Amino acid sequence: MSRMRQYVRKEDISVRKWSKDSIGLEIRRLHEVGENLNYAHVAEDHVALLRAATRYFGSWRTAVEFAGLNYDDIRRYKTWSRQRILERIRELNEKGEDLSWRHISTQIDPQLAAAATKEKHFGSWRSAVLAAGLDYGQIRKYREWDEDTITNRLQELHSQGVDLNAKSMEEYDITLITAARRRFDSWDQALTAAGLDYKTIVLRAPFKRRSTTLADAVRSVRRGQHGSRTQVKFSKSEPKQGVLTY
């Protein structure tokens, strides 16, 4: 009985009315959710689709190419394994990609998202991220940061007089600067998008005048820059430093 139910489940799609367009759309849909579309896999899991494709297009290859996919890439498709999923997640993390579910499933790698959430793999994106050794709580924070949120926050901090130099911000709010770099490619571009002059911010650190050392004083005296009345007095607490008086 279980075999019969399995057979019916695989073949129930045969009752739909196929056309070239509907076949192409179904192939695209399967591709976008990470299904293996090589011939052997389709013959096992999508028999009705394969039969319709060969009936309308003459071959599975022609149907795949009609759907706008590269058949040679389909043939070389490697089935996702738990290890391959973990390696891909770590690879994207090292590149600094936003690993939030929304970003991965809609922009970066929908096939990875679909494979990771299958029950035979990890069952959820959170479990896959944790298995890759990453902090899912930290990754979820990036989901909250879009371009408007980032620029508004930068403007707010700037109005409060907060030092927006990159080094300072890494200590002040690492989540903000990390999200900004991912959304805008660089901290400078994020500041510019917020309407701020990043050059002024970078150079904001006050210039600290170097104290005059004994060697500087001697060189100045030799050059005659201070005249004959120049004297050199030494601080008792800093015997090696000289302070010029006139």
How far is residue 89 from each of residues 39, 84, 96, 230, measured CA to CA in Å?
A: 28, 9, 11, 68
Q: What are the tokens at 42?
A: 């389709």
- Provide the percentage of residues in the chain whose pLDDT is more than 90: 26
Using the predicted structure, report yes or no on whether residue 4 has a pLDDT greater than 50.
no
Q: 88 with 128: CB under 8 angstroms? A: no
Among 113, 194, 178, 187, which Cα is nearest to 145's?
A: 178
CA–CA distance, 246 with 58 (Å, rounded to integer): 100
Q: 181 with 190: CB under 8 angstroms? A: yes
Q: What are the tokens at 70?
A: 């590269």
Note the maximum CA span of the chain: 113
Q: What are the tokens at 105?
A: 């499933």
Q: Which residues of 43-63 are buried (b: 16+ CB within 10 A; e: fewer)?
A: eeebebbbebbeebbeebbeb
Q: What is the mean pLDDT of residues 145-149?
A: 81
At 173-204, the pLDDT tens digits run 877 887 788 788 889 889 999 999 888 887 65
Q: Which residue has the higher pLDDT, 77 or 237?
A: 77
- pLDDT value, residue 246: 41
Q: 85 with 115: CB under 8 angstroms? A: yes
- pLDDT value, residue 223: 57
